[in-house]
Amino acid sequence: MNTIQHDNETISLKKIIIYYIRHWKLFVLAAIISLIPALLYLIFTPRTYEIAAKIQLIEDKSNSSNGFNVGDASGLMKSFGLGGIGGGSINLDDEMAKLTSNSILKDMVLKLGLNISYYKPYAFKYKMYEDIPLILYADSTTECNLDCTVTFDVDIKKDGKIKVKTEALKEKKVFEFASLPAEIKLKEGDFILAYRDEAIKPLSLTLDISPAGWVAENIYQDFTFDEYSKNANVIEISYVDYERRRGLNMLNTLVDIYNHQEDSIKRAEGMKSLAFLEERIQHVMTDLSETEVSIERYKLKNRMTDIEADVQFYVEQLKELQSKIIELEAQDRIVEMLNVYIKEPQNMYNLIPSLLSTGEGDKAGPITTYNEALLERAKLLQTTKGNNPLIEQINKQVDQLRGSVFLAIENSQKAIQFTLNDLKAKEKLIMDKMGTVPSLEREYIDYKRQQEIYQAVYLILLQKREDIALSIGESKDRARFVEKAYVKQSPIGPRKLYAAIGMLLFTLIIPVAFLFGREQFSALRKEYKETK
The tens-digit pLDDT sequence of the chain (532 residues) is: 454 455 445 556 777 777 777 878 888 888 888 888 877 766 666 788 889 999 988 876 654 444 334 333 334 443 333 333 344 467 888 888 888 888 899 999 999 999 999 998 877 788 888 888 889 999 888 888 898 999 999 998 888 788 999 999 888 999 999 888 889 999 888 999 988 876 667 888 899 999 999 999 999 888 888 888 777 888 899 998 888 899 899 999 999 999 998 888 888 888 888 888 888 888 888 888 888 888 778 777 766 666 556 556 666 767 788 788 888 888 888 888 888 887 777 777 777 765 444 443 444 577 778 777 777 777 777 776 656 777 777 777 877 778 888 888 888 888 888 888 888 888 787 676 555 456 666 677 787 888 888 888 888 888 888 888 877 767 778 888 888 888 888 777 676 677 678 878 888 888 888 878 877 777 777 777 777 6
Q: Centre a 10 Å sphere on the Cβ of residue 320 and count the other Cβ atoms it contains.
A: 11
Q: Which helix (H) or strand (E) holds 286?
A: helix 244-302
Task: Collapse the DSSP code of 153 into the 3-class scheme (helix H, G, I; strand E, B; otherwise coil) and give the result.
Answer: strand
- Tell me the helices (H) and strands (E) count for the chain, helix number first: 13, 13
338 burial via Cβ count (<10 Å: 0-12, 13-18, 19+): buried
CB contact at 8 A, 143 and 115: yes
- Type of residue found at 84: G
Q: Domain residues of the chain, as ranges?
A: 1-45+498-514, 116-210, 262-481
